[in-house]
Amino acid sequence: MTDTDLTRLAADYARDGAVCARQAVAPDLVQRVAAAIDANLAAPGPLALIASTADDPGKYATDFCNWDRFDAYLELAKATAPLAQALMRSRTVRLYHDHLLVKEAGTRQVTPWHQDQPYYDVEGRDVISMWFPVDPVPRESTLEFVAGTHLGQWLMPRSFMMREAKWFPEGSLHEVPDVEADRDAHPILGWALQPGDAVFFQALALHGSQGSTGRRRVISIRFLGDDAHRVERPWRCSPPIPADYDFPVLLDK
């Protein structure tokens, strides 16, 4: 990636809150990550769950915090940390966590529109996610964003299937707008993706996705920058990370 490309991506990220970096990861690492995802599915961690109903013709499987079990996840985090650093304009980059998101072929379950940060136990502007598919993702199945929402307020986090307010109390935050009711009223971004492409987005960027006709294996890496700091919450965050956990430093320069 040239300096001109990186400058453009950083400007787009500052304006929109989400960008697509084409061929950000080498093919050999893509293959190792794909193998790690399959191994993760075969041996889920303690935070794994199925986020689709039993009558869904597909299946939506998720898991968290497995970078210490699968070397390719950590290798991916290290490989993409410099781009996260440039987009955040941060000196430091720490590994917050990894998140597995796999929609099997035929999955109807949508990922509802939401922000990530209200589910977390961190505050600050320098919180960025890298969404990395190891399968081709058509435009209709990709992750979508409402451009510019990362500059706005925190919105109510709810459980994806039951829509419960398990985090902030009812009425304490504004509700997520019904984007699907009038998509033309919102500046929606999304990209068809090939293995090696990566989408980076700020943790307050409003995002969601539809079901998937084909298999869609994704690992998301969440990074923390200079001003991101841990806060105590009176509830179990998603993911729950021990209070004394020391986030690994990937870059400090």
% of the chain at pLDDT higher than 70: 100
Bridge partners, residue 98, by sequence: 221
Average pLDDT score over residue span 172-190? 97
- CATH architecture under which domain 3-237 falls: Sandwich (2.60)
Q: Per the structure block, which two tokens stand in for 73?
A: 């996840």
Are 225 and 127 in contact by the 8 Å Cβ rule? The answer is yes
Q: Per the structure block, which two tokens stand in for 244?
A: 């004394």
Q: How confident is the model at residue 3 (pLDDT cuts 50, 70, 90)?
A: confident
Higher local confidence (pLDDT), 99 or 161: 99
pLDDT tens, position by position, 130-149: 999 999 999 999 999 999 99
Average pLDDT score over residue span 55-62? 97
The HSE-up count of residue 217 (CA atoms within 13 Å, CB side) is 16
pLDDT tens, position by position, 91-114: 999 999 999 999 999 999 999 999
Q: How confident is the model at residue 64 (pLDDT cuts 50, 70, 90)?
A: very high
